[in-house]
A and B are shown apart, each in its own frame.
Chain A
Amino acid sequence: MREELIRVEHVSKYFAGVKALDDVSFSINRGEIRGLVGENGSGKSTMIKIIAGVYEPDRGDIYINGKHYKRLTPIASIQEGIQVIYQDFSLFPNLTVAENIGINRVISKGGRVVNWKEVYESAKEGLSRVGTDISLDAITGKLPAADRQIIAIARALLEDARLIIMDEPTTALTQREIQYLFKTIKDLKKQGISILFVSHKLNEVKEISDSVLIFRDGKKVLDQEAEELDIKTMEYYMTGRRIDTSSIAYSEPEEAPPLLKVKNLNLNPYFSGISFELKPKEVLGITGLLGSGRTELALSLFGELPAESGEIWLEGKEIFIRRNQDAIKEGIAYVPEDRINEGLFLEQPISDNLIVTIADYLASKLGIISNQAKLKTAEEWVDRLEIKTPSVENPVSSLSGGNQQRVVLAKWLASNPKLLILNGPTVGVDVGSKTAIHELIRDLAKQGMGIILISDDIPELIQTCNRILLMRNGKIAEEFQREKVNEEELHRHLVAAKS
């Protein structure tokens, strides 16, 4: 049964003299789930693009189904049954599900006229192969990320895919959606389809993969059965250093009056009867499944979805939050989940992004912001958060994901908030940056800031928070002290909310 589907031999690739891939060889068998991990710049994406025929390797050979290729073209790659599902799923947000799945078939046939009956039929066929019942007439952009992923998979299957490459497939998914994706992947495996699961989330890769490839600096550094690996080893190979996740220093919260007190907060239909306290220097985790109301609660505190009733007290004074500006004025900052859509002006310089929240403060009496003051402040934050960029005048889009997230953080920190609400701060961030962000969170707390961390990344919660609130159906269901709970237990409680 160990039939080989694709074999890559001694592949190297240079970009302007820089080695992106250095003598990499591996193979994928039929029906095998291969994990591929590596930090940003490790050569993961270059490898994907070589297999997809987008890049031409400078050296090396590729064998697919026993056929030898010096280089692949996108067409040849597709004809050999290779399908890539990119991070953005490559879907048209404005078109219906049916069209997104079915249109490729029309184009690949070279037809000029669209037969809608055929589009619908192939879409139905595609969706039935992944076993889901998403409405064919739904507008794709309005569906949740998990559904969009399924649509992308369905489309790939229609192209008679034999190998599906998934590039960071879980980035936009919640815990529960990830489980659903894994189930789908296992079904595909049963159909004899191979999967290359590319991710930097080590626990997920370990969970789903049969075997794991690890790239570092363009070289393959590990190729091993998943069963034989543990996360620590994987981290070591990926980063080249041991990351001690337990060593983050905790500052015990003061026995001081609470910084934030929330009493009986309601917002139909999202949450009701929410009461909790947050002490200065404390990091409070809030977790829960999709629809549990965790994000809406955060948005309420930030004024984006103002609560209908209830009280919010900050530093012993009742405050009223009707819109964002109220929250900002009271010293509440919010760092959103989707850093690209909500938090940043990607094409604007880093410096401008950084000063958005403190523009008023920097402005002279005439309302003019001096360029010098702007650059000085921006450079300060770039240094403090170790954002890797040659110049603060570069656009944010030139930064890697992790560094973009730091810009979002810095943007809000620059306004010196009393309360910082972070929603999924390390989603889509590699291990190295993740650790840095965790350290930063603790560091900020130590300086006296109160922090609410919303996340469904359980290790992250355990490593960073003093207390963790678990939300279920719009209510706080349970509360955990960090010392008294471990990862497995918390995971069990979280998933139990499903039933």
Chain B
Amino acid sequence: MKKILNSHEFVVFLILVIISIVIGLRNPLFFSASAIFDIIRGSIVYCIMALGVLMVLISGNVDISFVAIAAMASYSTHMLLLGLGYTGGIGLYLVIAIFFGLLVGLAMAFITTQFNLPIFYVSLGYQTLWYGFNLFFVGRAMNFDLPEGLVGYYSRFLVRVKDPVAGETGLHVSVIYLLVIAIFIWWLLKYTTFGRGLYAMGGNREVAIRAGFNVKSITYLMLALSGGLAAVAGVIQSAYSRFFNPVLFMGQDLDVIAAVVIGGAAITGGRGSVIGTILGVVLIQVLNRGLIFMGVSAEWQKMVVGLVLIIFVSIPAIAERRQGRLKYFPVSKEK
């Protein structure tokens, strides 16, 4: 129990609750089912991408190309299916996009392992590469032509709530994807040698190699999965917003990484969890949107979000430092 209370995830959760209460006190509608469902809907896509980022961060790497992979996979899939006259639903979209995502992830793994380059360096070019690929080979225009099967996907809800004043909304079906993915990644991280290998690599790469972890194949699997997850996020986001965008998510790479870090992942590797990541994404979402609920105008919004972020990231750091000082010499050793 004490362990849970001391965990980073709990701190994030606590802050999330405090911020929510503050917003809710100003506007009780923040706690309405429709508001909660909308925040969940807004978080789903970023959670899915963030879980890919999480794996990469745990392994001690940083990748910023996932946004471009999401754009490439979703946009190319759409243009391909559109050309073929596809009229079905999201299923085939996901299958093809995931295939693209995996493939592109594997190619990246090939480059990093073959030439022994840090993933971050490769991802710098890789991001530009796939956005460029979209604009150059696939198309430059946002495409609003949805196949029949995809029309209406944006309001396919599991649970519907009808608010007498604020209209209708609901819990979007894509929350199921997130649940499945989150549980799968959690299982991977906790119960497979792949997952433990990620933590081991992030803890000490040399030692991981010495201990017999196959660092190469771990890197392949990690980047393939991260590419696949980005692809899923790209398709769902496009289906939500009813158009496919060749530069989807451009400029949002650092926001996603920031959310994962706020959720407790170490940018230096070896630390991070699925729960923390989801909390981190939701926290950012609540911060960004809560201000509207509080009636804060746009001019103020930017400043307040920035301030809250700075305050938030310093809390765990301060806690750690205090803890570190007390633990400077473990008196308990004396017995």
Contact = CB atoms under 8 A, between A and B. Distances in A.
B210 to A, nearest CB: 6
A91 B269 CA distance: 15
B170 interface: no
Contacts of A93: 203-204, 270
Given A90-B210, A269-B331, 12 more contacts: A91-B207, A92-B204, A92-B270, A94-B269, A94-B270, A95-B196, A99-B196, A103-B200, A106-B196, A114-B192, A144-B333, A290-B333
B266 to A, nearest CB: 8
A94 B329 contact: no
Contact of A291 (B3, B200, B204, B334): B334
Contacts of B266: 94
A296 interface: yes
B203 A114 contact: no
Contacts of B325: 305
B199 A108 contact: no
Interface of A is mostly: loop
A66 B183 CA distance: 52
Contacts of B128: none
Contact of B329 (A90, A91, A295): A295
Interface of B is mostly: helix
A25 interface: no
Contacts of B212: 104, 107-108
Contact of B211 (A107, A116, A269): A107
B194 interface: yes
A142 interface: yes
Contact of A305 (B3, B192, B203, B328): B328
Contacts of B210: 90
A295 B210 CA distance: 34
Chain A contact residues (Cβ within 8 angstroms of B): what range? 20 to 34
B188 to A, nearest CB: 10
Contacts of A270: 329
A369 to B, nearest CB: 29
Interface in B85-128: none
B193 A114 contact: yes
Contacts of A137: 3
Nearest to B3: A137
A390 interface: no
Contacts of A290: 329, 333
A244 B48 CA distance: 68
Given A290-B333, A305-B328, A92 B203 contact: yes
Interface residues of B, number: 31
Interface in B188-202: 190-196, 199-200, 202
Interface of A: 88, 90-95, 99, 103-104, 106-108, 111-114, 116, 137, 142, 144, 269-270, 290-291, 295-296, 305
B213 interface: yes
A92 B199 contact: yes
Contacts of A107: 193, 211-213
Given A114-B190, A291-B329, A103 B203 contact: no
Interface string B310-328: 0000000000000001011
B192 A113 contact: yes
A296 B328 contact: yes
A110 to B, nearest CB: 9
A103 B329 CA distance: 28
B271 A94 contact: yes
Contacts of B200: 92, 95, 103
B208 interface: yes
A44 B146 CA distance: 69
A492 B250 CA distance: 69
21 contacts: A90-B210, A92-B199, A93-B203, A93-B270, A94-B199, A94-B203, A94-B271, A95-B196, A95-B200, A95-B203, A104-B211, A106-B193, A106-B196, A107-B213, A108-B212, A111-B193, A113-B192, A114-B190, A144-B333, A290-B333, A291-B334
